[in-house]
Amino acid sequence: MPSRHALVPRLQPRSLLAALLFGGLLAGAAGASQAQSLPGEALEHRLQVQARSELSVAPDMATLNARLWERTPSVAQDGSEQADPKALAEARDRLETRTGELIRRLEGQGIDSAAISAGSLIVRPDYIQQPGDNGNPGETLVRTQIERPLSLRIDDLSRLPAILDALTQAGVDALDGVTYDLKDRDAATDEALSQALEKARHKAQLMAKTLDIQLGQVIQVEETGAPSYSPQMMSMRSDAMESKAAPEYRPGEITLDASVRVAWSIAETPAR
């Protein structure tokens, strides 16, 4: 009776080498099959473009910031910044009176009370350096300044000149500027993004036609720069407000920009 060891055939050295080579070929074929399914292969068969669009839009609203202030009488600096309570109360009463008159004047110009925002009181010392002899600094005086900031939302830009006139007549002390903006920002940014995508598609189609290739499906879309814009600023100085010349207000246009990156697969075409 043959032993168990005799049932297992012994491979000759040449047969063993052939078996190893055959196994290596099978492993290589399996690895190649897996490599073809890797996502990185798509990088060799894609067309990728970048596009950027700019959209210019006329503003349809504005925000105006102004300030009113009152000051106490100047006194010699004595090391203490505490203002005289009576002088401080009188300055505050004058400021509140002027603020109320200005708000009523603006409401008379058709500004909704909800569009008028009066900020909190700001109290700060104001130092005045007196001139001395022979170019040397003289005595330092100090007074207390009480400010009231005002912010106006203007939905009808045609009213802007009349509103500025009302501010001038009310004796506003500082006009910090007018900021032009858009009521519907989302619609404008959506339009800028849509134009960037259309531009990307046009570039891809042009490249495919020139290179005689056929575009497949979109395989990647990336927004490389979110639509953004900066509101237009118009600043005015007090001397410009006091000028008798009729001022001109030109809001111009607000520019929005958006950028995208889009990739298409390249479809296989039959050999000619």
Tokens at 115, concatenated: 């569009």
Q: How many residues does the chain have?
A: 272
Q: What is the pLDDT of residue 249?
A: 63
Nearest residue to 177 via CA among 238, 95, 246: 238
Q: What is the pLDDT of residues 61-118, one digit of tens each?
A: 999 999 999 999 988 876 666 678 899 999 999 999 999 989 988 888 888 889 999 8
Q: Residue 19 pLDDT > 80, yes or no?
A: no
Nearest residue to 174 via CA among 142, 152, 143, 148: 148
Q: What is the pLDDT of residue 30?
A: 44
Q: What is the pLDDT of residue 235?
A: 55
Q: Which of 115-124, 230-239, 245-254 has the highest mean pLDDT?
A: 115-124
Q: What is the pLDDT of residue 158?
A: 87
Q: In which residue are the tokens 């958006």 written?
A: 258
**Residue 223 near residue 245, CB atoms below 8 Å:** no
Strands (DSSP E) found in 18-136: 46-57, 61-71, 75-76, 116-118, 122-131
Q: What is the pLDDT of residue 248?
A: 57
Domains of the chain (ranges, CATH numbers): 61-182 (3.30.70)
The residue type at 271: A
**How far apart (Å, rounded) are the C-alpha atoms in residues 201 and 216?**
12
Whether the model clears a pTM of 0.95, i.e. scores above it, the answer is no
Q: What is the pLDDT of residue 93?
A: 95
pLDDT > 70: what percent of the chain? 73
